[in-house]
Structure 1
Amino acid sequence: MTAWAEKVVTSGKFSLDGGSWDVDNNVWLVGDDNELIIIDAAHDAEIIAAAVGGRTVKAIVCTHAHDDHVNAAPALARLVDAPVLLHPDDRELWNMTHPDRAPDGELADGQELPVADVALRVLHTPGHAPGAVSLYSERLGAVFTGDTLFQGGPGATGRSFSDFPTIIDSIRERLLWLPPETVVHTGHGADTSIGAEAPHLEEWVARGH
């Protein structure tokens, strides 16, 4: 059976550096009728688990550890009986939300996560957060970028643990080499494509987006 990506939108708060903002998050389910991987566990474990249904969850993969992307991870892990995977460079951020519950495994650059008839390749794309990752599937023609790349530019870098030159390097070196038709499934908002975003790199750099 051919794998596909499903989007579940959940709503809640993003909090960091003493501020709090209302946000809608994209949670991605990648797989088929039998098994899947969940990308990000945002806000509401029960809504995400309901979308899973009776399918086997191979892993809950965190694109980064900002609280709006991981706040439902422990509860979701219990509901769907799956491990939570995080890049080790984001462990400090994770501990700010879940000091008493460690992730179950680590993500590494170049790692392949098989699910159904596809594989998701882990691309370490720091900048928005130190351990931010993107997940690329050549077969799906898609990359799941979390908060690294959006429609219209890079993710925010004005808060703790973030760095603008680093996110630009990540996008330039890890994402823009992908085929231009590659669909970019983001952590918030609408999809875009590598071909739509690539021509604007120097504009982002010039304005220090």
Structure 2
Amino acid sequence: MAYTGVASPGGPADVRELDALTIRKASVGPMDNNAYLLTCRRTGAQLLVDAAADADRLLELIREGSPQARLDAVVTTHRHRDHIGALTSILAVTGARALAGADDAQAIGEAADVHVEGRVHHGATVPLGDLALEVIALRGHTPGSIALAYREPRDARAPEAVPGRTHLFTGDSLFPGGPGRTSGGDDFDSLMDDLQRRVFDTLPDDTWVYPGHGRDTTLGAERPHLEEWRARRW
């Protein structure tokens, strides 16, 4: 079935098969958090974006990608508690590494009582088997909020100048309809500036956005509203 980006708590994962990567989107917990399992199709390496809640459901999701429940890493997009509710259990069961934005890592480690081994900065790469994800810092929702970008390899049948599509996992920094919540003031300006420079000025309209809650979107759908967001301040 075609990927729709729609998932609901207790329901099945929505699955997107790319040439080199499989993306599984599931919704968990009372806050309807999205968790994304990324699987390198050649090596079987797996990475979970946000062990948000419902460890049993997330373990099922991991086994959907690997019957042996292989999990190499959990990347937490930011420090808020609704994104780390199952982190302790998932790390204990799978032995995966914990990674997070450098400025949120200590708070995540203390809240979940785990060791955040990988403290990543803007521009770093996170390996996933043969593949790599780029870290994009989006400061404002929290000081260490990050997004992860996966760029598909260029289609050999396409003109050389045409890159593969980008898939962007934004946590709570970008949703359909606007940026994530901030305390206003400097935090809002910081988030909007990072979104403008590091996302909208850099990535094309067909970039697919996978947010921390709710349905997906594309940069092309959101780009016309940037000035509206700045004017309304949310």
TM-score scaled to structure 2, two decimals? 0.78
Note if contact 2:34-2:214 (Cα within 8 Å) is conserved in structure 1. Answer: yes
Map 1:61-72 to 2 at 5 A: 61-72=75-86
User: How many residues of Structure 1 are paired with residues of Structure 2 in the alignment?
Assistant: 196
Give, in whole Å, the separation in 1 of the partners of 2:166 and 2:105: 30
- Identify unmatched segments of 5+ residues in structure 1: 13-22
- Identify unmatched segments of 5+ residues in structure 2: 1-18, 153-164
Give, in whole Å, the separation in 2 of the partners of 1:91 and 1:141: 26
Give, in whole Å, the separation in 2 of the partners of 1:48 and 1:146: 17
**1:174 aligns to 2:198 (yes or no):** yes
Deviating more after overlay: 66-75 vs 187-196: 66-75
Q: CA deviation at 1:101?
A: 2.9
Q: For the structure 1 residues 92 and 115, does the alpha-carbon distance in structure 2 shift closer, same or farther, using more than 3 Å as the test? A: closer
Give, in whole Å, the separation in 2 of the partners of 1:109 and 1:120: 12
1:32-69: per-residue Cα shift (whole Å, max 9, x none)? Answer: 45221100011112211111112421210011110111
For residue 90 of structure 1, the aligned residue among 104, 108, 114 is 104
Give, in whole Å, the separation in 1 of the partners of 2:107 and 2:189: 20
Partner of 2:214: 189
TM-score scaled to structure 1, two decimals? 0.87
Larger Rg: 2
Identity of aligned residues (%): 36
RMSD: 1.8
1:137-167: per-residue Cα shift (whole Å, max 9, x none)? Answer: 11162100000000000001138xx811111
Partner of 2:223: 198
Note if contact 2:59-2:69 (Cα within 8 Å) is conserved in structure 1. Answer: no
Q: CA deviation at 1:29?
A: 0.7
RCO higher in 1 or 2 (8 Å CA, sep ≥ 6)?
1
**Which portions of structure 1, spanning 4 or more consecutive aligned residues, are displaced by more than 3 angstroms?**
none
Q: CA deviation at 1:6?
A: 0.7
Note if contact 1:35-1:55 (Cα within 8 Å) is conserved in structure 2. Answer: no
